[in-house]
Amino acid sequence: MGFTKRGKSWVALTLAIMLAVLAACSQSGGGEGANNADNQSETGSESGGSSAFELWLGWSATINNESLVQKYWRETEPGVDVKLEATQGDAMTALNLRINTGGFEDAAIFNRSETVKSAMDRSNLIMPLEQYFDMPDKYPGLASIPKPYLERMKDADGHIWSIPTWFDQNPDDPWPGWSSMTWAVRTDIVEKAGMKLEDLATLEGVETFLRKAAGLKDESGKALQPLSFLMDPNDTLGYNDENAVLSAFGVTTGGAGIAKKGDEFVFAYDDPNYKAAYQWMNKMYREQLIDPEVVTNKKEQYQERNKSGRVAMNVGAFWNIPPTSWETLDGPTEPAWYYEVIPFPKVEGVEAVGVNQVVNPYPGYDVYVSKDTKNLEAILKFFDYALQPKPEMQQIINEGPAGQYWDWVDQPLGKWKFTDEAYKEDRNSGDQALKAKVTPELYMISSFSNTWYPWWNTAEADKAGAAKTTKFTEAIGQMGGVRAAHSYDLVPVKQGGLWEKYTPELENIRKEYRAKLLMAKDDKAFEDAWNAFRDALEKRGHWTELKQEWQESYQADIETNGEF
């Protein structure tokens, strides 16, 4: 199931390459890597005296290593020259190729993933780092990382193989996150349909609205698309637009896609309402109330239709609409101004909204350090700086310190704004090359805090519509689809196990059959597609075996780390 947000799908060839490469790599342990780390600690400046290192990013990005923020790091604080390299294409394919050709030079950062962790561990190319988290005099930032995060990272020998980043500084009071999974409707269309927002409180009310919207036209005279969403080929079970419908039907897809009901765990694909949700979508599709091109729409097409006013209602992440459609407006001058988020409509027989987002204070990224790096001290110095437990630290990493290119409007931890007009112009230009001239936008190498979050406190908004995004996300967070993480959301995948092996195939199956379920021509065709989906889960995805392995991993995890 989808464990990482916005994860890329893996084709069978990539999986085959990965398994072949991993099989050729020896299991990493406390030997060579541990000795190397100890030696570097002892020799000090001989092994790690450089003030520069290369950081390989496990994602695509526009890089300009002379950016103003990197220049500040190099010349002022922390006095480290960070040279960035981005990944081209699929991250796992790139990682496997690197592993197979000797690895990376200094450090690499990837989204936290059991697949990446397993590949790194087996490569015998990285060093253990646990000793550096217990040196408060030398590395206070690293020592400030909450101990629960570090404890869960230890292997059987007590080694920690990465520097965790992008975690909540206070796991007991986590920032709720950018909640975005919603039902969004245009209030102007609701009004034209002769209805009120309260009329959309039930699924039946939504259906009535969609049928009325189907008879209306946009400003150019074209028929409205009553309902639409983005079927992104790169989405996952944990993050896709259909999850807004699944939530209304009580299906949990957030976290590991597992709900605990009493003493039993229910996996999303086994929840009877997973089928019911797709039956409803199929019904709407057959009635031509869902965009007939929803399966083939490119993201650009989908967004243009929303911006131009062709769509009456959306389900899914409002990032896909996208928010810039209303953030650039000062009033009701364009159709997007009228978007409003509404509570998940009540579905008969469903007692509670399904969880689509788990608020996870645990680290979202891992920094791996090459056992052969000659720049260990520079790496440790930089991440010690980046991981200082200041509420504004992600803003400092992203835009430089207060007083450099931005500053507080009135008081620290209040509103802020950019103070350097040239920086601001490039930063907000929308041109990735211009933005890269000023900042590499590496907020994820720091941490965050509920005490103060920069983009909920900006005074930069020069358009009235910009305030809508924060308003929307705060409202969505209270609609029942968001909850804090539990231990069963964070069960580590068994290295070399079935989940690691078959997760890519599960995603292939989900994406293949969601389209067939949505577009089934009649009830019989839907049932045939559903039965084929269940058959594929078992035969291609080894579904029953996967769930058994998960139960075993869960028991082992709570015996080691406890249950919460």
30 versus 103: the higher-pLDDT residue is: 103
pLDDT higher than 50, residue 24: no
User: CA–CA separation, 127 vs 78, rounded Å?
Assistant: 23
User: CA–CA separation, 179 vs 474, rounded Å?
Assistant: 7
384 versus 28: the higher-pLDDT residue is: 384
* pLDDT value, residue 562: 84
* pLDDT value, residue 50: 67
Q: What is the DSSP letter of 492?
A: P
Do the Cβ atoms of 329 and 463 come closer than 8 Å?
A: yes
User: pLDDT per residue over 132-184, tens digit each?
Assistant: 999 999 999 999 999 999 999 999 899 999 999 999 999 988 888 889 999 99
412 versus 38: the higher-pLDDT residue is: 412
* pLDDT value, residue 443: 97
The distance in angstroms from the start CA to the end CA of the chain is 22
* pLDDT value, residue 420: 97
Do the Cβ atoms of 36 and 372 come closer than 8 Å?
A: yes
pLDDT above 90 as % of the chain: 77
Chain mean position to CA 431: 23
User: CA–CA separation, 232 vs 170, rounded Å?
Assistant: 33
Do the Cβ atoms of 9 and 508 come closer than 8 Å?
A: yes
* pLDDT value, residue 458: 87
Task: Look up residue 320 and give its two tokens.
Answer: 């896909």
Q: ∠ CA(172), CA(177), CA(182), 5° rounding?
A: 135
User: CA–CA separation, 249 vs 277, rounded Å?
Assistant: 6
313 versus 33: the higher-pLDDT residue is: 313
pTM summary value: 0.73
Contacts of residue 483, Cβ cutoff 8 Å, sequence gap at least 6: 254, 355, 357, 358, 359
CB burial of residue 331 (10 Å; 0-12, 13-18, 19+): exposed
Pairing of strands 264-267, 258-261: antiparallel
pLDDT higher than 80, residue 419: yes
User: pLDDT per residue over 339-371, tens digit each?
Assistant: 999 999 999 999 999 999 999 899 999 999 999
Pairing of strands 181-186, 339-342: antiparallel
Segment (H or E) for 206: helix 203-213
Do the Cβ atoms of 406 and 419 come closer than 8 Å?
A: yes
pLDDT higher than 60, residue 249: yes
User: CA–CA separation, 409 vs 415, rounded Å?
Assistant: 5
* pLDDT value, residue 79: 97
Give the amino acid at 310.
Answer: R
User: pLDDT per residue over 483-525, tens digit each?
Assistant: 989 999 989 888 889 998 999 899 999 999 999 999 999 999 9
pLDDT higher than 50, residue 5: no
Mean pLDDT of the chain: 90
Q: What is the DSSP letter of 337?
A: G
User: pLDDT per residue over 425-474, tens digit each?
Assistant: 999 887 889 999 999 999 999 999 999 999 888 888 778 998 899 899 99
pLDDT higher than 90, residue 408: yes
Segment (H or E) for 163: strand 163-165
User: pLDDT per residue over 190-208, tens digit each?
Assistant: 999 999 999 999 999 999 9
